[in-house]
Structure formats: C-alpha cells, structure tokens
Structure 1
Amino acid sequence: MRIRSLTTRLAIAAVAIGLVASGCSSNDEDAPPGSSASLGTTNDINPRDVGDLRDGGNLRLAISAFPANWNTLSNDGNDAEIGGIERPMMPRSFTTDAAGQLSINTDYFTDVQLTNTSPQQVTYTINPKAVWSDGTPITWADIQSQAHALSGADKAFLIANNIGFDRVEKVERGVDDRQAIITFKQHFAEWRGQFAGNTFLFPKSVTATADAFNKSLVDGITLTAGPFLVQSTDRAQGRIVLGRNPTWWGATPKLDTITYSVLDSSAQLLALKNNEIDAVGIGTRDDLKAAKDTPGIGIRRAPGNAWNHLTFNGAPGSPLADPKLRVAVSKAIDRQGIVTAIQNGLVENPKPLNNHIYIQGQVGYQDNSLGFDPAAAAKELDDLGWKLNGDVREKDGRKLEIRDVMYQEDTWVQIAQIIQQNLGAIGVKLNIETKPGKGYFTDVIQPGNFDVAQWTWVGDPFPLGSLNQIYGYNPNDLQGNYGRIGSPEINALIEQTVSELDPKKAMELANQLDRKVFEEGHSLPLMQSAGNVAVRADLANYGAAGLASLDYTKIGFVK
C-alpha cells in the first residue's frame, strides 16, 4: 500500500526515508559514502544488542502536522507521518529485513499461509497472547470486519485503498476465534500485503460501520496493540506522547516514551541542533553540512521506498483535462535537470525515477518514461491548437496557465521553480501556490483544488496492491487517484496484473501498465528518496531503515 506525505522530510524512520534536496551545485564530492547503494541492499540504524542500551529514555521526533484522522485506512488518514506514529502501536502480519524479505510477525501471528489457490485461500493464525490495549483478544472478527470495510461494497466507507479486499468472497472463523480464513473470489497477487507494510490491523470497533470508520478516530486513537500506546495528546501545543503499553505481551521496550512534536519543516534541523529532537531527514546540502558539524550528531543513510512526483488534475473542466495536453506538458519537464539540481552533493550520480510502480534497485524496475523532449512538446501543443501569443500560448481566448500546488517547503518550491522555467520555454505559464501542512490533503488535494500538485509517495514491499488505489479510474471511489485520471484500458491492465499469481508474469504486466500510465499523462515521477538522516549518535537501532522494519522494543540510547 502507498501512503502519502506532504513533506520531503520524513525523519520518522518507521516509514521509508524521505527525499532530500540541495542547492544547484554540480559537485557530488560531499555525497555521503554509500549514497549510490541500491534499494534493498543495506540499512543504517546503529545496530546494538539491547544489553548495550540503558533502560528508559524519550525518543523525540518531529511531525509537520497533527493527525487529521488516526485511521490510516481512511482517505483522510492515509499519511506517512500518521503511519509512522502508529507503527509502534498497531498489528501487522509481516516484518521485513533490509533486502525486503518477509518474515511472519510472531508478536501477532503464529502462522500466515496461502492454503489454497483454487479458490485462493489465506489462513491467518493469531498469536493467543495478542490483545488490544483494553485487554480484549485480537480475533478473526477484527480481520473479517476490516475486510468488509475495505471491500468497497459500501461506498460510505471512505477508504484509502481496497488492498485487494474487493476480491474477497468471505472471511470465516477457523479452528477457533484466533484463526481467520480468507477466501478470494478472484486471485490477488499481493495477498501478503493486506495486513502488512503500510497497512495495519484495526479493531472491529473502528471498521464495523462507515460512521466509526470515517469519524471515530478523528480526534485520537482508541484501542491499539503494540509495545507503546498513546499516553497523552495536546493539539494546542502540537505534541503526542507514546508510553509503554501495560498489556503488551512481547519484549519490554527499552524506551519509556516517544514524543512527536509538530514543527515546521524549516525548524526541524535547528531543533536537532538545539537538542530538542533526536532525528531529522536532511533537506539541503547546507543542512547536511550543518548536521555533520553538530557535535553528537551522525548521518545515517539507506535508500528508502519513497519518491516525489507531480500529479496532474484531469477532472472534467480542469485546464489539463485533455490527456494529450498533459503528455505534452510532461515532455517539457527536464526531470534529470531537477534531480541534478536537487540531489547533487547528497547522492552519487543522481538519476530521475522512470517508473510509477517499481523504484530503482527493486526487481522489476525499468525505464518506461516518455523522455524529455521540449521540441516535441511544443509541436504537440501547436497541433492541439495552443498557439504562442507573446510568452504564453492561447486557445479560444484562454491562456495556457496552470497552478502547481505544494506544501510550503523550500525543496518543493525549488522543484516548482525549475518546472516553471521548463514550461515557460514552451509557452506554458506555471503559477506556484504553497499551502500549510494542516489540511493539505483533506482540504486541497482530495477535493482536487490544483492543476498540478506535488507530494511524496511512500511505499512498502507490496507495490501491486496500490495499482487500483492510485491508477484505477473509479469515479465513485476516489481512493488515491486524486487527479481523477484513467481509462478502461488501464483498469483492465490493473485487473490482469493483480490477478496474476506468477510473480514474473505479474511484473511484466505491471511494466506494460506503467507505460500506459505515462501515456495517459496521469502523473510524473521525479526522483527517489536519497535517504540521509541526521541522528543523535547515541541512539541505537534507529535511523535510515531502508526497507527493514524497525523493532520498537529495541530502540534506545547506548549506556
């Protein structure tokens, strides 16, 4: 499942590390060692045995906004920072290592198996010790309720992604209340990701009704089931504190608390330098130097499963409703120039991301992009009737003028300024609009109040489970297709891909689909996360996690 982030800084290493930026220098000699490593080859968390860590302590992290909705399954809560806050608190069925290899999360499940292929059936056996924070057992009924909520059968549930539950026939009780058997009416390739990666299992009290699903966690989360739980929240002060969960049955955490403070992106590095937080994603080359020069701070780096991009708005009546116009605009954007300007000095030999589904270093990645061709873009605009009149093209008395919307962060603005220059060269006027973090997705992006928009997608090891979420066009089911762009052909390819249980064939189909997404002018991937994180040097088992899951019981400070 893919979750979104408005910021290029993702210091919460519970999710893949966010994008970084630098000035326009062409010198990469200061790029951190190993910054050319591929995704899935490494992580950098200062690994230490728990015996080397002191008991107690408070891990202090920054977030850009208070959660709009703590239900991460909902469209309002589908946010990387909210997911990062909840990872120490919520059940998932699998963990991953640095190579993205899966292992059953035995704190919650003793077994998860594909037990039949005709029909496809998956059996979840729940750890008999697993309980919600009020002491009630986690049971098959929680799985059944979540499967129904995410099925899409009831459109009143405002879901972020159906994650294949639209393909589920039924969920039944197994040998006892601690076992659930999911039977599919259609094959689903990414069945392992239905309660893993960026997707948590929630109690049935949250998923039983549309009203509870959409609204019950707006002001705060209730039942959880992890080594930590919410100890206090203060919306006015912008602070969330997690404490140890007294009903937790697993290993005792080393930390006493984890504190999240709402800080503007521009204030986060200063907060680290002032010993107010313990980790932050690096935003610029200057920030990297400043962090390196700060006593007691180290730079940790591993490629992460996050990338930034442009989403076009193709809704009827929008300036970019015509797919041919969107494609022409996309061909005029110099993505290599953007990546060179943004990531030099932070990444060795930075390259643009040329695939919507797979990222560099991931098996299946190939270049399916249309390429940078401003001459072709100009000709296509001419052919569409958009003729130059001075500096800006016009058609039927209307200027070709579009709004690029983004969170107020220097990196996003710098990217937009480069695009503004690119498009200006072919007669397209780009206006830059910045927005605050509060309400960015709920009030701006989801309603479609943009022509072009920028944000970060944060993925997990299950990319096929997000195909329908983002690229499927279902007018009555928004999920993550905020640009309202698609086609019957794309929908059919999505269906074919997610139905294929042979991983190699599914990969081939996914790349065919990716090319169609480029040709539709749906969105434009820009660059993959660089993965530099400034971390307090005595903090162990935390930092640049790459594809690996963090064990929150082992995070702590060295004695």
Structure 2
Amino acid sequence: MRIRSVTTRLAVPLVIVGLLAAGCATGDDIPAEGEATLGTSNDINPRDVSELRDGGNLRLALSALPQNWNALHTDGNDADLGALMKATMPRAFTTDAAANLSVNTDYFTDVELTGTDPQQVTYTINPEAVWSDGTPISWEDIQSQAAALSGADTAFLIANNSGFDRVEKVERGVDDKQAVITFDQHYADWRGQFAGNSFLFPKSVTATAEAFNGSLVDAAGPSAGPFIVESVDRAQGRVVLARSPHWWGDTPKLDTITFSVLDAAAMLPALQNNEIDAVGLADRDELKTARNTPGIAIRRAPGASWSHLTFNGAPGSILADQGVRVAISKAIDRQGIANALQNGMVQEPKPLNNHIYLSGQKGYQDNSLGFDPTAAAAELDALGWTLNGDVREKDGQRLEIRDVMPVQDQWVQIGQIIQQNLAQIGVKLIIETKPGQGFFTEHIMPGNFDVGQWSWVGDPFPLSSLTQIYGYNPDDLQGNYGRIGSPELNALIEQTISELDPDRAIELANDVDRKVFEEGHSLPLMQSPGNIAARDTLANFGAPGLASYDYTKIGFLK
C-alpha cells in the first residue's frame, strides 16, 4: 500500500522511507560506505537491550497533525499518521532489511495460505492480544475491516481496498481468536492486507460508515501496541505516545515518543539545538551540516520513498488530453532534476523509471518514455497547440498549468527546473506552494491542481497499490487523484493482482507500468537518498531500509 508524504526529506524516520540504490561518493559529502541497494542493508545502530537505559523520550518531527486518525480512510492515508500508527497498531508481519517476512507473533501466532482453489488465508490471533480498551482482538475485527474495505458500501471513504473487494467471506475459525478469509478471486498481495503500511483496526472503527469516516477525526481510538497516544496538543502541534498499560509483549525501553510539527526548514536546526533526536536530510548542505554537528551520526540505508508528479486529467481540465500529458512528460529532464538535487548525496544520481518497483527491487526495469523535448514539441504541434509568443495556445486558451506543491525548498527547486524545461516547448508552469497541513484534503484530493508534487511511501507489497493509485473508477477514486485511467489499464491491473505466481506477476506489473507511462498518468522523478541524522546515543533506530522497527528495543545507550 502507498501512503502520501508532503516532504522530499526523511522527515519521519519511523516510516520506511528514503531509497536510492547508490552508495558513497568522494570527498566529504557522503559517508564512506559501500554501495547500498534496496533489500541489502539497514543502519540503525543495533544494540542489545541490556546496553540501553530504561526510560527516555524519543523526539521526532511531523509535517502536520493527522486530518483523520483512521489510516484506512482517504484523509488518513499519509506518512505522518503512518509514523504514529506503527508504534500503536497491529500488523501481521515484520520484515528484515531484505523484506523477508516473519509472522508478527505479538499479534498472530500463525498466518497461513491454507487454500488456493478457492484462495483461503487463516489468521490465528495471539490469545493475549487485546485492544487498549481491554476488548480482546478477535476474528470479528478482521471480518469488519474486510467488509468496510470491500467497496460494497461506497459510504466508506476508503484509501485502498487492499484486495478486500476480492473477499467472498470472513468466518470464525476454531474459536474467536481465528479468522478464515475466503477469496472469490485470487489476490497476489494477500500478505499485505494487514502489514506494511496497512493496519488492523478494531471493529468499533470499521463497523459502520459513520464510525469509519468520523469517529477518529479528532482523536485516536483504541489501539494495540507497545505505545498508546497519551496526548495531542493541537495548539503546540505535538503528539505524545506513552507506554501502553495494556501491552502484553516485551516492555519498551522508552517511556515516551514525542512528535512535534515543524516546518521543513526548522527540522535540522531542531536536531542541532537538541530539540529532536533524528531527522531525514533533504540536501547536500544539510548532510554537511549534520556531519559537522557534535553528537550526531549519519545513518544510511535504502528505503521506499520517491518524489513524482501527478497530472490532473479530469474532464474539463487543461491536461484532460492524454497526448498533452505524454508530451509534457517527455519534455521534463528527470536526470537533470536528479543531478541538481542529489549530487553530493549519492554516488550516481538517477531518475526513477518505474511506478511500481524501486531500483534494486526485484522486478525493477526502465519502462519510461525518455527525455525528448523535440518529440514533445512536435506532438503538441500535432495536437493543435501552436506557439503564440512564448506560450502555446489552442482555441484561445493558453497552455499554462499550475504546479501545486508543499512549501519546501526542494519541491520548489524541482518545480523551477520543470518550469525551465517546459518553457523550451512553449508550456508555462506556474508554481503554487501550499502548507503541509491540509495539503491533500484541501488541494490534491478535490483536484485543485493541474500538476501535483508529493512523495509516495511504499512498503514490501507493491501490487497492493495498483488499484489504489492507477485503477480508475469515477465512483471510488481512492488514491487516483488525477482521475486518469482506462478500461485497458484496469484490465491489466486486474490480471496482475490475480496472479499468484510471483514471477508472472512481476511481468504483468511491468506491463501495467508501461501503460501508466503511456496514459500520462504520473511521472516518477527520483528515489530519496537514505540519509538520516540521529543522535549518536540512539540505538535500534535510524535508517531501517525495508526492515520494520521493534519499538520495544528502541532507546538510548547507558
């Protein structure tokens, strides 16, 4: 599942973010380490818990407070909330740096594919697992969530159906602590339905559309992790997580985790001033500054975050014509963007050339249309967009497009490079910056943009996002904010997510990716460098790669 982020930096190290399949460069810009690729490493200062002191407060930064504490809701589908939820909510699997899966035994004693015709998955819940209000976690929570995300009732404003539209039924197993999911169509990414960026919520949140959409708008509900949400201070922009008194697993070393809302430009100074303990690094200057700050260590490992452009192809929009979107895509120098923003951060800056797989991940290949401004200009000519001075016109309308982005220097720099690229073919780009708070709910989700810039944050289950982002259903947009798609693309997605053979699924996913490029749906730009600055006494935390954190083992050295 993909979740949204307004930042190009690793603003929230609790989220699996920050991938670039490159390693060291010469000089002082990059730590002298071997080349890293996705799925090979992490860098978290691993220490035995005996080396850590009891207690302490881990201080981190957020871009904004959650718009909705329900991460399954379309308003809650963002990286800031994901960072909070991963310490508080159940997930079925943990992962290592290579994205190998292990059942998360804090919550489930077994998760098993118990049939393929029909496909059937059996979840056996840990007998000790309870929600923070004391209610046992049961098969009914799984049944209720499956129904809510099925799409059968469009009053549920879901972020992603996560394959539950393919579920025929969820039944009680041998007791209330076992759920048996039966599919009426195969679902390739079944392991990701309650894992990665997807969480299990209590049935009190998912039982009705009213509860799903509105019960967690103002505050978090029942949780089931080593930490609970202790307080939310909206005036100060602060969320405090504390040890859960209902937690049945290993006792956390930390007492609290505090998240403070900070502007992007304030994050590194906050680390230097001992106000937070870790932050992602956005550019070469920040990397140099962090390396020269006493008591700060640079931790680097690939993750799964990337910047991109989404085009608005809704009927009546200036980019409704697929040919115009494709021409603009070809005119954008993505290698130039990577060079400008990542030189000195990685060894060989490269653009990302796939929507589904990341560089270094099995399945990754270059399906892009390439940089060809000459072809782009010719295609716009053929579509009737003719130059009138510096800007093209058609039927009295100027080819001017609004690029809506969060307020952050790196996004603006990307926009300025694109602005220069498009000026060469007679397209005027207007840069509009918006605050992180409300960026998606007020601008992107309503379609109030021509081009939108933000980051997607992935997990080890890339196929689960195909319907979410690239499938097109006008009555159920989920994450397809550009409202772009086709019956052909929908059919390819359907074939891909129905394929249980992993190698064949990869082949089909790349067919989907080629079609996404051809539709002019969106344009991946670059993966984020895996550079995190952290207090050198902080252990079992930093750049996790594709590994999941054990929140009970994060802490500070004695």
TM-score of Structure 1 vs Structure 2, range by shorter chain: over 0.9
Q: Give the Cα separation in 1 of the matches to 2:530 and 2:27.
A: 15
CA contact (8 A) 2:291 2:298 kept: yes
> Does structure 2 conserve the Cα–Cα contact (< 8 Å) formed by 1:242 and 1:259?
yes
SS at match of 1:438: coil
Please state how far the C-alpha of 1:438 moved relative to its aligned partner: 1.1
The one-letter code matched in structure 2 to 1:4 is: R
Q: Is the 8 A contact 1:60 1:260 kept in 2?
A: yes
What residue identity is the alignment partner of 2:4? Answer: R
Q: CA deviation at 1:28?
A: 7.5
1:51-200 pair list within 5 angstroms: 51-200=50-199
Superposition deviation, residue 14 in structure 1:
2.2
Deviation at 1:135, TM superposition (A): 1.3
Distance in 2, Cα, partners of 1:362 & 1:13: 21
Task: Write the distance in 2 (CA, Å) between the matches of 1:89 and 1:29.
Answer: 39
TM-superposed deviation, 1:52: 0.2
**Contact in 1 for aligned 2:19/2:38 (Cα 8 Å):** no
Q: Distance in 2 between matches of 1:11 and 1:463?
A: 22
**Alignment map for 1:288-299 (pairs within 5 Å):** 288-299=287-298
Counterpart code for 1:229:
I
Q: 1:364 is matched with which residue?
A: 363
Question: Which residue does the alignment assign to 2:348?
Answer: 349
Q: Look up the SS of the partner of 1:519 in the other structure.
A: helix
Residue 10 (structure 2) pairs with residue 10 (structure 1): yes
Q: Which residue of 1 aligns with 2:397?
A: 398
Residues 35 and 347, structure 1, Cα contact 8 Å, conserved in 2: no
Q: Are 1:427 and 2:395 an aligned pair?
A: no
Cα distance in 1 for partners of 2:548, 2:256 equals 19
Distance 1:495 1:365 in 2: 20
**Residue type matched to 2:106 in 1?**
D
* Aligned counterparts of 1:379 and 1:436: Cα–Cα separation in 2: 37
Aligned to 1:412: 411
Which residue pairs with 2:229 in the alignment? 230
Q: CA deviation at 1:240?
A: 0.5
Give the AA of the match of 2:130: V
Superimposed CA distance per residue, residues 114-163 of structure 1 (whole angstroms, 9 cap, x where no aligned partner): 00000000000000000001111000000000000000000000000001
- Aligned-pair distance for 1:29? 6.2
How many residue pairs were aligned? 554
Q: Give, in angstroms, the shift of residue 27 of structure 1.
A: 8.2
Retained in 2: the 8 A contact 1:9–1:19? no
Q: What pairs with 1:408-557 in structure 2 (closer than 5 Å)?
A: 408-557=407-556
Contiguous gaps of at least 5 residues in structure 2: none
Query: Which amino acid in structure 1 is aligned with residue 159 of structure 2?
Result: A
State, as a whole percentage, how many aligned pairs show the same letter.
Answer: 75
**CA shift digits 1:263-312 (9 cap, x unpaired):** 11110100000000000110121111111111000100001111010000
Letter matched to residue 122 of structure 1: V
Once the two structures are TM-superposed, the CA of residue 7 in structure 1 deviates from its matched residue by 1.1
Distance in 2 (CA, whole Å) between partners of 1:164 and 1:17 is 24
Which amino acid letter does the alignment assign opposite residue 113 of structure 1? E
Instruction: Report the Cα distance in structure 2 between the residues aligned to 1:27 and 1:392, rounded to whole angstroms.
Output: 42
Does the aligned pair in 1 maintain the 2:145–2:207 contact within 8 Å? yes
The C-alpha deviation readout for 1:300-327, integer Å capped at 9, x for no partner, is 0001111010000000000000000000
* Alpha-carbon distance change, 27 to 373 in structure 1, aligned in 2, over 3 angstroms: farther
Could you state the TM-score of these two structures normalised by the residue count of structure 2?
A: 0.98
CA deviations 1:167-218 (Å, max 9, x no partner) are 0000000000000000000000000000000000000000000111011111
8 Å CA contact 1:242, 1:257 repeated in 2:
yes
Q: Give the AA of the match of 2:5.
A: S
State the alpha-carbon separation in 1 of the partners of residues 538 and 494 from structure 2: 45
Query: How far off its partner does 1:37 sit?
Result: 1.1
TM superposition shift of 1:31: 2.5
| Pair 1:40-2:39 in alignment | yes
Do the aligned partners of 1:10 and 1:16 also contact (CA within 8 Å) in 2? no
Mean CA deviation greater in 197-206 or 27-36? 27-36
Structure 2 distance, partners of 1:49, 1:316, is 57
Partner residue in 1 for 2:205: 206
Question: 2:28 touches 2:288 (CA, 8 Å); kept in 1?
Answer: no
Cα deviation, residue 34, structure 1? 3.6
CA deviation after TM superposition for structure 1 residue 386, in Å = 0.5
**1:139 and 1:33 mapped to 2: Cα distance?**
49
Task: Report SS of the residue matched to 1:229.
Answer: strand
Amino acid in structure 2 at the alignment position of 1:517: V
Which residue number in structure 2 is paired with residue 329 of structure 1? 328
1:481-530: per-residue Cα shift (whole Å, max 9, x none)? 00000000000000000000000100000001100000000000000111
Look up the match of 1:23. Answer: none
Secondary structure at the residue paired with 1:356? coil
Structure 1 residue 35: deviation in Å?
Answer: 7.2
| CA distance, structure 2, for counterparts of residue 134 and residue 405 of structure 1 | 41
Superposed CA offset, 1:2-55 (max 9, x none): 1010111233222122479xxxxx987623334741111100000000000000
Judge conservation of contact 1:28–1:344 (CA < 8 Å) in 2: no
* 3-state SS of paired residue (2:76): coil
Give the letter for the 1:3 counterpart.
I
Counterpart amino acid of 1:5?
A: S
Provide the residue aligned with 2:388 in structure 1.
389
The superposition leaves residues 465-495 of structure 1 with CA deviations (integer Å, 9 ceiling, x where unpaired) of 1100000000000100000000000000000
CA separation in 2, counterparts of 1:196 and 1:178?
A: 18
Instruction: Name the CA shift for 1:19/1:97 in 2 (closer, same or farther; >3 Å).
Output: closer
Query: Taking structure 1 as the reference length, what is the TM-score of the superposition?
Result: 0.98
Partner Cα separation in structure 1 for residue 34 and residue 14 of structure 2:
20
The secondary structure found in structure 2 opposite 1:32 is coil
The answer for unaligned runs of 5 or more in structure 1 is 21-25
Contact 2:161 2:468 in 1 (8 A): yes
CA distance in 2 between counterparts of 1:288 and 1:9 reads 11
Match status 1:265 vs 2:264: yes
Contact 1:18 1:529 in 2 (8 A): yes
Whether 2:324 is the aligned partner of 1:311: answer no
